[in-house]
Structure 1
Amino acid sequence: MSYQGQPALALPEAAPRLSATESYLRVLHALMLRDMRTRFGASYWGYAVVVLWPCAHVFMLVAIFYLRKVPAPIGESSSIFFASGAVPVLIYQYMSREVMKAVSANRPLTYYPQVKLIDVIIARLLVEIVSGCLSLIVVMAILVALGIDPRPAEPFTAVTGFLAAILLGIGIGTVNVCVMAYFPQWALGYVLFNIVIYITSGVMFLPNYLPEQIYAIFKYNPAVQLIEWVRLGYYPTLDVQVDYFYVIMFGLTSLCIGLLMERFVVRKLS
Structure 2
Amino acid sequence: MSTEGFAPPPQTPARGTVSGRRSFPGARSIAALILREMATSYGRSPGGYIWAILEPIGGIVMLSLAFSAFLRNPSLGVSFPMFYATGMMPFVMYIDLQGKISSALNFSKPLLAYPTVTFIDAIAGRFILAVMTKLLVSYLIFGGIMLIYETRVTLDFVHIFESFAMAALLGLGLGTLTCYVFTRFPLAQKAWGIVMQPLFLVSGVFFLYETIPDPYQSYLWYNPLVHVVGIMRKGFYPTYDASYASPVYVLSIALISLTLGLLLLWRYHAEILTR
After TM superposition, give the deviation of residue 143 of structure 1 in Å. Answer: 0.6
**1:22-171 residue pairs with structure 2 within 5 A?**
22-41=24-43, 45-67=47-69, 69=71, 71-149=73-151, 152-171=154-173
Instruction: Give the 3-state SS of the residue equivalent to 2:238 in structure 1.
Output: coil
After TM superposition, give the deviation of residue 124 of structure 1 in Å. Answer: 0.8
Contact 1:168 1:251 in 2 (8 A): yes
Q: Which moved more, 1:71-80 or 1:157-166?
A: 71-80
Instruction: Give the 3-state SS of the residue equivalent to 1:19 in structure 2.
Output: helix
Instruction: Give the 3-state SS of the residue equivalent to 2:76 in structure 1.
Output: coil
**Which residue of structure 2 aligns with residue 263 of structure 1?**
266
**Which residue of structure 2 aligns with residue 243 of structure 1?**
246
Closer, same or farther: CA 74–49 of 1 in aligned 2, 3 Å: closer
Contact 2:170 2:253 in 1 (8 A): yes
After TM superposition, give the deviation of residue 224 of structure 1 in Å. Answer: 0.9
Unaligned runs of 5+ in 2: 1-19
**Which residue of structure 2 aligns with residue 9 of structure 1?**
none
After TM superposition, give the deviation of residue 239 of structure 1 in Å. Answer: 5.2
Unaligned runs of 5+ in 1: 1-17
Instruction: Give the 3-state SS of the residue equivalent to 2:78 in structure 1.
Output: coil
Contact 1:84 1:230 in 2 (8 A): yes
Question: For 2:25 and 2:94, how far apart are their aligned partners in 1?
Answer: 31
Identity %: 27
After TM superposition, give the deviation of residue 267 of structure 1 in Å. Answer: 3.1
Contact 2:77 2:152 in 1 (8 A): no
Q: 1:214 aligns with which of 213, 216, 219?
A: 216
Alignment length (residue pairs):
253
**Which residue of structure 2 aligns with residue 14 of structure 1?**
none
**1:154-193 residue pairs with structure 2 within 5 A?**
154-193=156-195
After TM superposition, give the deviation of residue 120 of structure 1 in Å. Answer: 1.0
Question: For 1:57 and 1:186, how far apart are their aligned partners in 2?
Answer: 28
Question: For 2:76 and 2:124, how far apart are their aligned partners in 1?
Answer: 39
Q: What is the letter of the counterpart of residue 145 of structure 2?
A: L
After TM superposition, give the deviation of residue 173 of structure 1 in Å. Answer: 0.9
After TM superposition, give the deviation of residue 134 of structure 1 in Å. Answer: 1.2
Q: What is the letter of the counterpart of residue 212 of structure 2?
A: L
Contact 2:184 2:272 in 1 (8 A): no
Question: For 1:269 and 1:150, how far apart are their aligned partners in 2?
Answer: 52
After TM superposition, give the deviation of residue 221 of structure 1 in Å. Answer: 0.6
Q: TM-score, normalised by structure 1?
A: 0.84
Question: For 2:49 and 2:82, how far apart are their aligned partners in 1?
Answer: 26
Q: 1:194 aligns with which of 193, 196, 203?
A: 196
Instruction: Give the 3-state SS of the residue equivalent to 1:234 in structure 2.
Output: coil
Q: 2:233 aligns with which of 219, 231, 234?
A: 231
After TM superposition, give the deviation of residue 175 of structure 1 in Å. Answer: 1.1
Instruction: Give the 3-state SS of the residue equivalent to 1:208 in structure 2.
Output: helix
Q: What is the letter of the counterpart of residue 23 of structure 1?
A: P
Closer, same or farther: CA 151–255 of 1 in aligned 2, 3 Å: farther
Q: Which moved more, 1:33-42 or 1:257-266?
A: 33-42
After TM superposition, give the deviation of residue 62 of structure 1 in Å. Answer: 2.7
Could you list the structure 1 runs, at least 4 aligned residues long, displaced by more than 4 angstroms after superposition. 67-70
